[in-house]
Amino acid sequence: MSGRVLSVASECVPLVKTGGLADVVGALPAALAPLGWDMRVLIPAYRALRPLIEGWSEVWWEEDLWGGEGRVYLGEIAGLQILALDAPHLYDRAGGPYAGAGGDWPDNPQRFAALSWIAARFAREGVEGWLPDIVHAHDWQAGLAPAYMAYHGGGTAGSVMTVHNIAFQGWAPATLLTDLRLPGSAFNSHALEYYGGISALKAGLVTADRITTVSPTYAAELMRPEFGMGLQGVIVERASVVEGILNGVDTAVWSPEAEPAHAYSAKAPAGKLAARAALCAEFGVDVPGPLAIVVSRLTDQKGIDLLPEALPEFIAAGGGVIVLGTGHAELEGAMQSLAHRFPGRVAVKIGYDEGLSHRLFQGGDAVLVPSRFEPCGLTQMYGLRYGTIPVVAAVGGLADTVINASPAALARGAATGVTFAPTDALALSQALRRLVALHADRKTWAKLVKNAMTQPVGWETSAQAYAALYEGLTA
Ligand code: ADP
Ligand code: GLC
């Protein structure tokens, strides 16, 4: 089967990224193309994109897009067909996609309503003869796309709402209902009303034909109050159309064989030692035991606050840690004080650095992901690929991708990492103790690394699941 999919999102690699959402949106088109699905990605033309789209062709003009005009430009980048929505009054700003120096943009509800509005128009009318069979909306920023299709007409297109993170719900006050072009009849708790206001994510969840999330475990977790964050009832109500499809990673980009320096593979792992030495030299650390890395947003979700309590014992046992991340100022400070407290064992780089993240996965022995919740998570999969053993909280996609090195799993030759529960400092300390013991046993460690590196973490299986989902909607 074949067809056309309009993917709607606020981020897409290589154009704009704040997290894994961008990786996934950027990877799906190439993963689905061989299966016959022609996917185009609709994203806002933020300031940084405007020079790029200058040479692209204008394919749409919208007169009234919340206070100004909008134009859509079609172009190709890195093999992706991008539809960039240029509405300078909404997107041409200094700062990130969601926030400027003063915090979140106050008109975020309208900014992403505009994106969703255009998606629904394309669903109805097509764009220059390209009429999508499916509109695939990602996270709350695209949540109103299925809603506009339901309330204003979506032609024959089916709709899919994918939850990458239910913590972000796109809440807006009820007074915006009319401004957001939503019918009064939808303002009830069975539709998009949420805590007295409007939730763009809930709107998508109640109106989309299908709901997916990015791992099977998270799909089940979302139905429970601890993880559903208020929307568990909605997910339960729609359980018959909810599916968890695990993310893959782009194995061309995340490939230890293809790194410019110190390349290595499962069969020829020697380069990893050289990469480790280079990394230690770069950061001025000397670590006799396992060298752990963290590459993460520094937020509550990621459990970064557990490190100050859990690490001292690990460091005393010979371990070391290099942290790369940005996020909450308090957590950034906590990481920096760890580095001061343990010079030569802990190093911290506050910032976002793609190149450095590759060097960390190459040279690290283990990657720590102590998340409180994790819809899928990508860094544990980069860890598998690079033989950088994942030490992860057993939640969401982390639980679905890492096989704990229990005696039984080790004996079977199936283990790929260390998992722990619950997400607290004690369980993390115990996991790190197990890591130290595994690392000290050279034969076991070599086997673990080999197992990790030979796990399939690409998109093949998941792309087939998405294709089957689309097929079910167009049949
Ligand atoms: P989330 O989307 O919740 O942040 P994921 O694990 O799905 O978590 O994706 C995070 C992505 O962002 C990964 O590609 C990771 O390598 C990258 N990343 C996070 N922080 C940094 C950083 N400081 N520098 C470079 N890459 C980072
Ligand atoms: C979100 C989640 C993360 C997931 C990513 C891509 O950012 O926090 O777990 O991997 O989306 O789906």
pLDDT (tens digit, 9 = 90+) per residue, 300-351? 999 999 999 999 999 999 999 999 999 999 999 999 999 999 999 999 999 9
The answer, yes or no, to whether any atom of ligand 2 lies below 6 A from the CB of 213, is no
For ligand 2, the distance from its centroid to the CA atom of residue 273, given in whole angstroms, is: 30
The answer, yes or no, to whether any atom of ligand 2 lies below 6 A from the CB of 164, is yes
Beta bridge partners of 194: 197
Q: What is the DSSP string of 5-29?
A: EEEE-S-BTTTB-SSHHHHHHHHHH
Task: Pick from 164, 249, 371 the residue to mutate for probing ligand 2's pocket: most ligand atoms within 8 Å of its CB.
Answer: 164
Could you state, in order of their start, the residue ranges of all structural domains in the chain? 3-248+459-474, 256-453
The answer, yes or no, to whether any atom of ligand 1 lies below 6 A from the CB of 325, is yes
Give pLDDT, residue 362: 98
The answer, yes or no, to whether any atom of ligand 2 lies below 6 A from the CB of 375, is yes
Q: Which residue reads 């809930």 in tokens?
A: 202
Determine how many CB atoms are found less than 10 A away from the CB of residue 352: 14
Give pLDDT, residue 419: 98
The answer, yes or no, to whether any atom of ligand 2 lies below 6 A from the CB of 21, is yes
pLDDT tens column, 198-241: 999 999 999 999 999 999 999 999 999 999 999 999 999 999 99
For ligand 1, the distance from its centroid to the CA atom of residue 383, given in whole angstroms, is: 12
Query: Which residue lies with its CA nearest to atom 1 of ligand 2?
Result: 164
Q: Which ligand is nearest to the CA of 248?
A: 2
Give pLDDT, residue 333: 98
Q: Which atom of ligand 1 is found nearest the CA of 378?
A: 6
> What is residue 214's three-state secondary structure?
coil
Give the torsion sign (CA, 421, 300, 20, 138): positive
pLDDT tens column, 131-146: 999 999 999 999 999 9
Q: Which atom of ligand 1 is found nearest the CA of 17?
A: 12
What gap in Å lies between CA 332 and CA 298, rounded to an integer? Answer: 7
Q: Are β-strands 346-350 and 320-327 bridged in parallel, bridged antiparallel, or unpaired?
A: parallel
Residue 7 token pair: 């993917």
Given CATH 3.40.50.2000, say whether it is the number of domain 3-248+459-474. yes
Is residue 328 within 8 A of residue 103, CB to CB? The reply is no
Sheet hosting strand 389-393, strand order edge to edge: 346-350, 320-327, 291-298, 366-369, 389-393, 418-420
318: left (phi over 0), alpha (psi -120 to 50) or beta: left
User: Is 124 a residue whose pLDDT tops 90?
Assistant: yes
Q: Which CATH superfamily is domain 256-453 in?
A: Glycogen Phosphorylase B; (3.40.50.2000)
For ligand 2, the distance from its centroid to the CA atom of residue 163, given in whole angstroms, is: 9
What gap in Å lies between CA 317 and CA 319, rounded to an integer? Answer: 6
Is residue 295 within 8 A of residue 322, CB to CB? The reply is no
For residue 292, what are the contacts with CB-CB under 8 A and spacing of at least 6?
A: 314, 319, 320, 321, 322, 364, 365, 366, 367, 368, 391, 432, 435
> What is residue 283's three-state secondary structure?
helix
Q: What is the average per-residue pLDDT within 250-256?
A: 94
DSSP 127: B
Q: Which atom of ligand 1 is found nearest the CA of 23?
A: 14
The answer, yes or no, to whether any atom of ligand 1 lies below 6 A from the CB of 392, is no
User: Is 475 a residue whose pLDDT tops 90?
Assistant: no
Q: Are β-strands 210-213 and 158-163 bridged in parallel, bridged antiparallel, or unpaired?
A: parallel
Give pLDDT, residue 347: 98
Is residue 109 within 8 A of residue 180, CB to CB? The reply is yes
What gap in Å lies between CA 117 and CA 184, rounded to an integer? Answer: 17
Residue 341 token pair: 């407290």
Give pLDDT, residue 256: 98
* Average pLDDT of the chain, as a whole number: 97
Q: Are β-strands 57-62 and 70-77 bridged in parallel, bridged antiparallel, or unpaired?
A: antiparallel
Does 256-453 match 3-248+459-474 at the fold level? Answer: yes
Beta bridge partners of 3: 37
Q: How far is CA 397 from the centre of its chain?
A: 11
Give pLDDT, residue 107: 98
Residue 451 token pair: 């197992």
Q: What is the DSSP string of 100-151?
A: ETTEE-TTHHHHHHHHHHHHHHHHHH-BTTB--SEEEEETGGGTHHHHHHHH
DSSP 404: B
Residue 57 burial (C-beta neighbours within 10 Å; 0-12, 13-18, 19+): exposed
Beta bridge partners of 74: 57, 83
Beta bridge partners of 43: 84
Give pLDDT, residue 1: 81
What pTM does this model have? 0.97
